[in-house]
Amino acid sequence: MENLALIESFSEFKDDKLIDRVTLMAILEEVFRNTLKRKFGTDENFDIIINPDKGDLEIWRNRIVVKDGEVEDENEEIELTEARKIEPDFEVGEDVSEEVKLSDLGRRLILSLRQNLIARIHEHDNTIIYKQFIELVGEIYTAEVHHVRNRVVILIDDDGNEIILPKDRQIPSDFFRKGDSVRGVIESVELKGAKPSIVLSRTDPKFLEKLFEQEIPEVFDGLITVKKVVRVPGEKAKVAVDSYDDRIDPVGACVGMKGSRIHGIVRELGNENIDVINFTNNNQLMITRALSPAKITNMTIDEEKKTVEVFMDPSEVSKAIGRGGFNIRLAGQLTGYEIDVYREGAEEDVELTEFSDEIESWVIEEFRKVGLDTAKSVLEQEVSDLVKRTDLEEETIVEVRNILSAEFSS
């Protein structure tokens, strides 16, 4: 009866987790054999017969009959007198099979056996979940907000699986309440201990790429290919698209009439500004398109160093750099070139390097990183904007601006 009760308790897990019969029997036998090893030191002389459908479980210990008083190993040998209590015609040298009841194992071992059984079921279940989600890495997934914490949002999917959305994988404007439906891409799946850790991301460029697949039929059908996606989550993104069918305008198809097709994607990403660009293998043309809406008058490309010097009218520079420096930063990421912007016909301007005796070189380098390499290019920007675009403190920026302003004061 004890054997039957244990099997019945296991059946609850079987029905809930939909474990197949072969796996069920393998887990049961493994757990029971480990218990026998703890009790008797070995499981080699035991037969375990399991029928999970009927709730039957039998354990038989096989021993050899020896003369009375000559037993050396009680687990593998049995005295003739004891053997004949089982069956009266046993003789020395014959094999005896005797059923082992759970009560023979002792209360502590039975409790341990059940705990191990539960642990193995959960381990099997977690392995199945891991295999399921590892195949979904990079794919869009939807789950419901279960709990909002300071640095992470805990999500639960329709099958009760826990998924985490860390703060740094959320778009800055994201705000979630319990019960909200959240979309993102499965970024990573790891087995931490026996439990899978599933991480969802809304900041990964792959999320934007997959949204294009979901929302734009031509991308889904393969008529338009998303070549590359770069983004500053919640602020700005650039998407390079291409089509092998000359009759299809990839940019027009993705944006739609008056932005109708891309509007849903923009809204999903917290009003992220998305530039859709026609991909080309012509590097000069690709750089020109990536810096849009700024108009370029000339450029010099160094293929070896993967750098490019772009020249344009002073009035175009702010467009090339963009608010917060996002446009030039993303253009560099999209094209694979480090882009330096120079003003044409601005003789009255002064290179920042000319102020190296008053401004530290690392500070000049910080401005140069965001395309600001002359005195006027820095002075044209608001202090608050420069704080966002660079890694400089406000006090440092104000001090630099004072030095630069003195150059032009008469």
Start-end of CATH 2.40.50.140 domains in the chain? 136-203
Q: Under CATH, to which class is 2-131 assigned?
A: alpha beta
Q: Is 286 strand, coil or helix?
A: helix
Give, in order, the Cα–Cα distances in Å from 189 to each of 27, 185, 200, 230, 239: 25, 11, 9, 23, 27
Neighbouring-strand partners of residue 343: 312
According to the model, what pLDDT value does residue 358 have? Answer: 86
136-203 — its CATH code? 2.40.50.140
Report the alpha-carbon distance of residue 143 to residue 185 in Å, rounded. Answer: 11
Which residue is associated with the tokens 């000069």? 284
Start-end of CATH 3.30.300.20 domains in the chain? 204-279
Report the alpha-carbon distance of residue 100 to residue 79 in Å, rounded. Answer: 17
According to the model, what pLDDT value does residue 243 have? Answer: 93
> Residues 331, 287: contact at Cβ < 8 Å?
yes
Read off φ and ψ for residue 90, nearest 5 degrees: -70, 145
> Consecutive sets of 10 residues in the chain, 410 residues long: mean pLDDT of each?
51 53 72 79 81 69 84 82 82 82 69 70 74 91 93 92 94 93 94 83 96 94 95 95 91 90 93 94 94 91 92 84 87 93 71 86 87 83 86 90 77
Q: Would the CA dihedral through 128, 131, 135, 137 be positive or negative?
A: positive
The 236-243 sheet, strands edge to edge: 224-232, 236-243, 273-278
Start-end of CATH 3.30.1480 domains in the chain? 2-131
> Residues 210, 203: contact at Cβ < 8 Å?
no
According to the model, what pLDDT value does residue 287 have? Answer: 94
Report the alpha-carbon distance of residue 202 to residue 293 in Å, rounded. Answer: 27
Rounding to the nearest 10 degrees, give the CA dihedral for residues 322, 328, 330, 331. 120
According to the model, what pLDDT value does residue 355 have? Answer: 87
- What is the residue-wise DSSP string for 213-241? HHH-HHHHTTSEEEEEEEEETTTEEEEEE
Report the alpha-carbon distance of residue 291 to residue 310 in Å, rounded. Answer: 10
Task: Please tell us whether the domain made up of 204-279 is placed in CATH 3.30.300.20.
Answer: yes
Q: Is 328 strand, coil or helix?
A: helix
